[in-house]
Structure 1
Amino acid sequence: MKKIMGSLLSLTMAGILLVGCGNGQNNDSAAGQEQAEGKPTQLVISTWGFSEDFFNKEVYAPFEKEHNVKIVTEIGNNAERLNKIRQGSGNVDVVYLSDYYAQQAINEGLFEQMDHSKIPNVEQVYDIAKAPLGEEYGPAFTIGRLGIAYNPDLIKQSVTSWGDLWSDEFKNNVTTPNITTTAGPMFVSVASTVAGNEQFNEDAAFAKLKELNPGIVKYYGQTSEFVNMFSQEEIAGGPIMEMYMKDLKAAIPNAVFVSPKEGAYAVMNTVNIVKGSKNKELAEQFINWHLSKEVQEKSAKAKVDSPVNTEVVLNAEEADGVTYGADVVNNLLKLDMKFVNDNIKTWTDRWNRELAQ
């Protein structure tokens, strides 16, 4: 009798365990199942692909080791990668996008809403970077600034203002970003400011851009085009993100970066979780890791990304060419990306009609 009861009890417990496993398989993430089997969970990250050696060694590898994860990357520019997510053609968990493109994804419902309490390192981040596109969405993991870079051998005047780009010295000697780039809408805003408006004025902006248009060597679509023209002295300068100064200085060692007196623009690259990710908890842990002082400091010292973590401390040499410090970050101008995305089609049509060469 005892043996029968013992057998029945064993069968009952086994049934409970099997039911438990079945429920877990339905409700838990794929990560839980794989980790239970001792296999690394695959975390798919969509990113640009620059500085891959640094990211593989300093960002991905330590996280893989600690969390039994295998990170797989999908590489491409903002537009290409966003389109893949729109089409549902990948299994992306975490996506890095500039704020301009991230806002489009938010508008289309492509991101999971994020609980920032599960990403505690957000509390160490500059306020401007904590939730640049809304509390429900991801932080910026780096902030750059759009200012003016120029070659002082070709430009003799003191460059202090966005308006200096309209001077005779820059005529036929300047490049500006195309409207389709991340910096394009920022330069439309610049033109409105140079035209004397405190609030954005579209007509005034495009009138001012028309004044500059005859002296533009080329509207650049990729930063590499700016770097190449600058290196060959086809241009004396133009608006560019500070993070590319190391490339400009490699060609022109005395190249100068200016934060214009009207203000430089914040260029924020965000990190978010893709809607439907089976690894949301793991993705949150990864984002928290990327915001940590350890990762942010290494990225800054390697001049890969400017830090958003306020606990990062850099000396003068380490900070050179990096957007760093509260006095710099807190004074950056921030575009309303929802407003930009609501108007970008109109601006692009006007740009192509009135300015395209």
Structure 2
Amino acid sequence: MKTRIVGGLLSLALVGTALAGCGAPAKEQGGTGTEGQASKGEPTKLVISTWGFSEDFFKKEVYGPFEKEHNVKIVLDIGNNAERLNKVRQGSSNVDLIYLSDYYAQQGIDAGLFEKIDRSRITNLKEIYDLAKAPLGEDYGPAYTVGQLGIAYNPKATTKEIKAWSDLWSPELSKKLTLPNITATSGPMILDAASVVAGSTAFNEDQAFAKVKELNKGVVKYYSQTSEFVNMFAQGEIAAGPIMEMYVKDLKAAVPDAKFVSPSEGAYAVMNTVNIVKGSQNKQLAEDFINWHLSKQVQEKSAKAKIDSPVNTTLQLTPEEAQGITYGADVVNKLRKLDMKFVNEKLKSWIDRWNKEVAQ
């Protein structure tokens, strides 16, 4: 819907041509990872495009067991969202499976870069949160992790107790506040939050920009990378700002009293997705790997290691294990989700307007 950027509070219900010749030669693959060993012989190469963080964990707990079960050799293509997606777009990679934030994954879908998945083969889909099953449409891959964007603040650096997005407009936070730049992953989320604070039920661009502009003089810096937030927070340059929950542990390492708040109007879902690249000759094997990553076994180990917030609803974490990650239906089902297709269509004009009206 062109008049809305966000689907509201969620209940249980972030130029391409077909690429040929991607991936390794096709082989017969067995089942979904639970139906016995794959045929022995020369391992099949499965090329996975991903970020490369926590490599030791993924090698031991995710890649290794799958390689053994399926007689596979996993090869990684490492980089950030933009550069990895561009390699696929340009046809300069042999990637089978690609991990991207929802914002970049939507660009890949719009460019026709991904295969349509066979959901009947990914049986663990029935075990994950509804918002993670098809965040960008039924034809494309699920989110394997869902985090949240909320507000972090230092209660010793401000007299304001923060409970809502609207609290960012409090006079007590003037000259103590940071906001993400519009070009950051969370930039469009803050624009939507400003529209909500302005009183709009449907996204209103004019009201959103006017509301953000009200904060301009009180913002210390519009950050583009989370490391900038962490450094400013640690040095006492800021007292509060929107940040993804997964980085709160870094804030607490520097400022133990730091608090993270899921705003009363709703925190924002931050989703990373996995998709199969068009032309892959290992499509069924790639679907098996997606199914494996959604399994309780992998999701539980990732959550307990604080690597990723889980989407599998069957695992149970203690309060200590759940600290610092987005966990539980009571949290996930309240998250607000942006319409990434709409965001991609509007972002260029938003950047231009932001530069003219906000970041002066």
| Structures share fold, TM-score greater than 0.5 | yes
Q: 1:200 aligns with which of 200, 203, 220?
A: 203
Q: 1:305 aligns with which of 303, 308, 314?
A: 308
d(CA) in 2 for partners of 1:347, 1:58: 41
d(CA) in 2 for partners of 1:44, 1:29: 8
Match of 1:185 in 2: 188
Q: 2:348 aligns with which of 345, 348, 352?
A: 345
| Amino acid across the alignment from 1:178 | N
Q: 1:44 aligns with which of 31, 34, 47?
A: 47
d(CA) in 2 for partners of 1:305, 1:119: 20
Q: Secondary structure at the match of 1:334?
A: strand
| Residue 109 (structure 1) shift | 0.5
Runs of 4+ in 1 over 6 A off after TM superposition: 33-37
Match of 1:4 in 2: none
- CA contact 1:63–1:286 (8 Å) conserved in 2: yes
Q: 2:25 aligns with which of 5, 27, 30?
A: 30
1:122 pairs with 2:117:
no
Match of 1:252 in 2: 255
Q: 1:221 aligns with which of 219, 224, 231?
A: 224
Match of 2:140 in 1: 137
- Bigger relative CO (Cα 8 Å, ≥ 6 apart): 2
Match of 2:152 in 1: 149
Match of 1:8 in 2: none
1:317 pairs with 2:320:
yes
| Amino acid across the alignment from 2:41 | G
d(CA) in 2 for partners of 1:72, 1:317: 34
Q: Secondary structure at the match of 1:57?
A: helix
- 1:146-203 CA distances to partner (integer Å, 9 max, x unpaired)? 1001111102211011011111222111111111121111111011111111111000
| Amino acid across the alignment from 2:25 | A
Match of 1:105 in 2: 108
| Residue 31 (structure 1) shift | 3.9
For residues 159 and 123 of structure 1, do their structure 2 counterparts lie closer, same or farther at Cα, with a shift above 3 Å needed?
Answer: same
Aligned length: 331
Match of 1:276 in 2: 279
Aligned-pair identity in percent equals: 70
| Residue 344 (structure 1) shift | 1.1
d(CA) in 2 for partners of 1:186, 1:330: 17
1:161 pairs with 2:164:
yes
1:173 pairs with 2:176:
yes
Q: Secondary structure at the match of 1:32?
A: coil
| Amino acid across the alignment from 2:94 | N
d(CA) in 1 for partners of 2:233, 2:109: 36
Task: Report the aligned-residue RMSD.
Answer: 1.8
- CA contact 2:24–2:46 (8 Å) conserved in 1: no
1:243 pairs with 2:246:
yes
- 1:85-123 CA distances to partner (integer Å, 9 max, x unpaired)? 111111111111111111111111011001111110011
| Amino acid across the alignment from 2:218 | G
| Residue 267 (structure 1) shift | 0.7
Match of 1:11 in 2: none
d(CA) in 2 for partners of 1:54, 1:37: 26
Larger Rg: 1
- CA contact 1:193–1:200 (8 Å) conserved in 2: yes
Q: Secondary structure at the match of 1:30?
A: coil
1:79-94 pair list within 5 angstroms: 79-94=82-97
1:63 pairs with 2:58:
no
- CA contact 1:31–1:42 (8 Å) conserved in 2: no
d(CA) in 2 for partners of 1:73, 1:355: 40
| Amino acid across the alignment from 1:150 | Y
d(CA) in 2 for partners of 1:220, 1:42: 40
Greater mean alpha carbon deviation, residues 137-146 or residues 169-178:
169-178
| Residue 356 (structure 1) shift | 2.3
| Residue 246 (structure 1) shift | 1.2
- 1:225-260 CA distances to partner (integer Å, 9 max, x unpaired)? 211221222211210111111111111112100011
d(CA) in 2 for partners of 1:156, 1:318: 30
- CA contact 2:248–2:324 (8 Å) conserved in 1: yes
Q: Secondary structure at the match of 1:238?
A: strand
- CA contact 1:44–1:72 (8 Å) conserved in 2: yes
d(CA) in 1 for partners of 2:28, 2:166: 59
- 1:195-220 CA distances to partner (integer Å, 9 max, x unpaired)? 11111100010111111112212211
| Amino acid across the alignment from 1:239 | P
